């Protein structure tokens, strides 16, 4: 039983397992915290900036936030499945599986699947880099707002304003700004909702960064697996040629032995 457990533990692709855990953690942080941060942003815009949803099919900031939420749902589902596929690929290409279940044949399909995963993971890494850069934008905006709240408590009589038009949240024709002398600004700075939303976006940014690191880790693992499959394929061809040559030598030796026996007889 102990030897069986040791063999089973030796068959686990630990590099792929670490990358999968890191990927799931990063995607969970990004999706969960990002979703809650978007909901907090909607409450802040409606409560303190006095913005309302436009009727009809107009593409406003609230519609964009709803679209981002659906994108988050899709990211969570897609990368949950992709992590499982990469783990399965790691199990099939790790060297310990050969020791557990005996020798196996390297097929052209297996090599194509490994190459396909390398290309797909590289594209996903670039996509997560874009997501990380995009997630830094709300972090920057909330940092400006958080800094204005801190400056009002340090500098008395300062009249600082934040205009949503400079961030592209509203059109140029709409004037949606909030200043330090207004009551809404003071209530927003005193509330915990602003601080919570700001930190949720920071955690979502950290989750996107963790997903990028996981993709890089997967690229290293898949490249190592590809090299192993390539070497195993060459070794397999060498063993096939060697076995054929040995069989031919055995046949020649058997034929000569029969000829000598017949000649003696």
pLDDT in the model for residue 209: 95
Q: State the Cα–Cα distance between residues 88 and 249, nearest whole angstrom.
A: 42
239 domain-assigned: no
User: CA 93 → CA 18, 82, 85, distances in Å?
Assistant: 16, 17, 12
Residue length, the chain? Answer: 265
pLDDT for position 158 = 64
Which of 5, 8, 11, 71 lies closest to 35 in space, CA to CA?
Answer: 71
d(CA 200, CA 172): 29
pTM of the model: 0.78
Who has greater pLDDT, 9 or 199? 199
| Residue 210: inside a domain | yes
**Are 201 and 33 contacting, i.e. CB atoms less than 8 angstroms apart?**
yes
**pLDDT, mean over the chain:** 80
- Considering only CA atoms, which of 177, 188, 160 is closest in space to residue 51? 177
Q: Quick check: is 109 in a domain?
A: yes
What's the pLDDT at 154? 60
Q: Report angle CA 170, 171, 175 to the nearest 5 degrees.
A: 75
Q: Report the distance separating Cα 141 and Cα 139, nearest Å.
A: 6
101 pLDDT band, cuts 50/70/90, is very low
Distance CA 254, CA 265 (A): 16
Domain membership of residue 102 as a residue range: 15-147+194-232
Residues of the chain above pLDDT 70, percent: 77
In degrees and rounded to multiples of 5, residue 156 shows phi and psi of: -80, 140
- Note whether residue 243 is domain-resident: no
Task: Please write the tens of the pLDDT for every residue from 197-249.
Answer: 999 999 999 999 999 999 999 999 888 877 777 766 666 666 667 777 777 77
CA dist., res. 159 & res. 82, Å (int): 51
Query: Phi then psi for 190, rounded to 5 degrees?
Result: -80, -20
Q: Does a structural domain hold residue 240?
A: no
148 touches 194 (CB < 8 A): no
Q: Are 117 and 194 in contact (CB under 8 A)?
A: no
Name the pLDDT band for 91 (thresholds 50, 70, 90): confident
Residue 63, domain member (yes or no):
yes
Residue 246 in any domain: the answer is no
Q: For the stretch 5-20, what's the b/e string if a residue is b when 16 or more beta carbons lie within 10 angstroms of its beta carbon?
A: eeeeeebebebbeebb
Residue 139 has pLDDT above 80, yes or no: yes
The answer to whether residue 189 is domain-embedded is: no
Instruction: Judge whether 213 and 125 are in contact, CB under 8 Å.
Output: no
The number of domains in the chain is: 1
Q: How confident is the model at residue 73 (pLDDT cuts 50, 70, 90)?
A: very high
């Amino acid at each position: 039983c102990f030897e069986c457990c040791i063999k089973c533990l030796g068959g686990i692709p630990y590099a792929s397992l670490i990358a999968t855990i890191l990927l799931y953690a990063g995607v969970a942080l990004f999706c969960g915290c990002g979703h809650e941060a978007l909901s907090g942003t909607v409450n802040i815009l409606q409560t303190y900036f006095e913005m309302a949803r436009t009727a009809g099919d107009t593409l406003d900031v609230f519609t964009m936030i709803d679209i981002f939420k659906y994108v988050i749902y899709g990211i969570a589902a897609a990368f949950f499945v992709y992590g499982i596929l990469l783990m399965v690929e790691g199990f099939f290409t790790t060297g310990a599986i050969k020791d557990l279940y005996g020798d196996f044949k390297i097929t052209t399909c297996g090599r194509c699947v490994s190459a396909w995963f390398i290309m797909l993971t590289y594209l996903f890494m670039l996509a997560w880099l874009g997501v990380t850069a995009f997630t830094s934008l709300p972090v920057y905006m909330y940092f400006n707002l958080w800094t204005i709240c801190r400056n009002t408590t340090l500098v008395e009589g300062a009249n600082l304003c934040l205009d949503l038009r400079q961030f592209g949240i509203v059109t140029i024709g709409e004037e949606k700004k909030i200043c330090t002398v207004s009551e809404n600004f003071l209530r927003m700075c005193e509330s915990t909702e602003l601080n919570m939303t700001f930190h949720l976006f920071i955690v979502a940014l950290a989750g996107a960064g963790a997903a990028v690191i996981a993709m890089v880790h997967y690229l290293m693992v898949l490249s190592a697996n590809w090299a192993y499959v390539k070497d195993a394929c060459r070794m397999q061809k060498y063993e096939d040629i060697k076995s054929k040559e040995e069989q031919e030598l055995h046949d020649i030796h058997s034929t000569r032995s029969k000829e000598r026996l017949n000649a003696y007889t």
